[in-house]
Amino acid sequence: MATLRIALVAGEASGDILGSGLMRAIKARHPEVEFIGVGGPLMQAEGLVSYFPMERLSVMGLVEVLGRLPELLKRRKLLIQTLIAERPDVFIGIDAPDFTLNIELKLRRAGIKTVHYVSPSVWAWRQKRVLKIREGCDLMLTLFPFEARFYEEKGVPVRFVGHSLADAIPLQADRAAARAELGLPQGPLVALMPGSRGGEVGRLGGLFLDTAQRLRDMHPGIRFVMPCASPQRRTQIEALLVGRDLPLTLLDGQSHKALAACDAVLIASGTATLEALLYKRPMVVAYRLAPLTFWILKRLVKSPYISLPNLLAQRLLVPELLQDDATPEALAQTLSPLIEDGQEQTRGFDEIHRTLRLDASNQAADAVLKLIGKTL
């Protein structure tokens, strides 16, 4: 079998997970494959020769990006030159659209097939980016069905492959086992998940703890669990807890265990809402942004919902309390009934889980190999 050469670029940890799963699935079909590009430890473990450390691409926030812009532009330019010289059979950009879409455009113009894995949120805002995607991308692989519908309408070749988290998380999580593992007693338990970034925890951490104090008055015997994304977030939350008396267990990471163990979740809008959905835990979604940012986004965002469960359900399945509506009183009142009975939500979650559970890595590998005419 002729050697296949596949180039991939991932910019952060979530992309490294997707990339490694895709590489494994391609290798199972074509053991003689060679992988080049940029990826993290998981992709390197599958055989990727990374041109430089993936961490150089993991930049959050506008100000930080501006500081690193000269380096990022220089790396991208060199990467494009190297890949055009190497002539891989296909280039796969994994997420990181601000970095990878431009590479795809240049490589496709040079006659190299291109795939983008994980759609940017073009359906929600900056919809004009779809024109650049259509020009630079031979195939878009989406994690969600509503994204695929959007691309079909815009004339972009697309395949909905499902979500690897939906494959990994069981359809029925064992609540009792998760509690035993975390040393948490039986009785009502709410997970508080104010986000993984410092700014999010700064805006939502105190609000979530105020809400917990109100829930405690409404539900005697209730307990709380909060996973901390990093040691810095833990320090930040410990500072917010000073002077409060809450039956709260802080965890280092272990967000999946917290979700498996709890009865309901108070959660920041973001990827974690998908995880809560897959664990079938009733939730209330809250979010606060800097007032000016919120004002701008409100005018830019075309979607009626902000949380993934509602986007996937195409209806208001979970309550969303944003900005000034996100008060401790409103959050506690909305979450309180879900602690006892969130069946309407969880039935919807189960349906969605099944639609996303398609064996994503193998679906993606099939689509890529079909594109380059290498199906077995």
Residue 171: both structure tokens together: 């359809």
In sequence order, the 6+-apart residues with CB closer than 8 A to the CB of 366 are 375
Type of residue at 171: L
d(CA 249, CA 224): 6
* DSSP β-bridge partners for residue 93: 9, 116
Range with lowest mean pLDDT among 13-17, 279-283, 308-312, 369-373: 13-17
CA angle 156, 15, 130 (to 5 degrees): 20
| Of 88, 84, 78, nearest in space to 35 by CA | 88
Q: How far is CA 204 from CA 81, 110, 246, 328, in A?
A: 44, 47, 17, 10
* pLDDT at position 56: 84
* pLDDT at position 59: 60
Is the pLDDT at 96 greater than 80? The verdict is: yes
In sequence order, the 6+-apart residues with CB closer than 8 A to the CB of 275 are 165, 169, 255, 256, 259
Q: Are 139 and 221 in contact (CB under 8 A)?
A: no
Is the pLDDT at 87 greater than 90? The verdict is: yes
User: Backbone phi, then psi, for 266, in 5-degree steps?
Assistant: -105, 120
Is the pLDDT at 358 greater than 90? The verdict is: yes
Is the pLDDT at 343 greater than 80? The verdict is: yes
Is the pLDDT at 61 greater than 60? The verdict is: no
Domains annotated for the chain, with CATH where assigned, are 5-162+358-371 (3.40.50.2000), 175-356 (3.40.50.2000)
In sequence order, the 6+-apart residues with CB closer than 8 A to the CB of 160 are 142, 143, 144, 145, 147, 148, 358
d(CA 337, CA 266): 13
Classify 63 as helix, strand or coil: helix
* pLDDT at position 64: 59
DSSP 8-class letter at 94: E
Q: Are 132 and 101 in contact (CB under 8 A)?
A: yes
Please indicate whether residue 71 or residue 300 has the higher confidence score (pLDDT): 71
Q: How far is CA 291 from CA 193, 282, 294, 353, 358, in A?
A: 22, 28, 5, 34, 40
Q: How far is CA 248 from CA 74, 139, 142, 335, in A?
A: 47, 46, 38, 17
Q: Calculate mean pLDDT across residues 209-237.
A: 96
Strand order from edge to edge, sheet including 320-322: 248-252, 223-228, 189-193, 264-268, 283-287, 320-322
Type of residue at 179: R
pLDDT band at 6 (very low <50, low <70, confident <90, very high): very high
Whole-prediction pTM: 0.87
Residue 328: both structure tokens together: 């401790």
Type of residue at 337: P
Q: Calculate mean pLDDT across residues 216-225.
A: 96
pLDDT, mean over the chain: 92
* pLDDT at position 211: 98
| Of 265, 143, 284, nearest in space to 193 by CA | 265
Q: Calculate mean pLDDT across residues 314-324.
A: 94
Type of residue at 325: D
* pLDDT at position 65: 64
Is the pLDDT at 269 greater than 80? The verdict is: yes
| Of 4, 70, 82, 3, nearest in space to 38 by CA | 82
d(CA 295, CA 369): 44
* pLDDT at position 92: 98
Q: Are 211 and 266 in contact (CB under 8 A)?
A: yes
Type of residue at 154: K
* pLDDT at position 16: 93
Q: Calculate mean pLDDT across residues 116-143.
A: 86
d(CA 282, CA 72): 41
d(CA 258, CA 189): 10
Q: Calculate mean pLDDT across residues 356-371.
A: 97
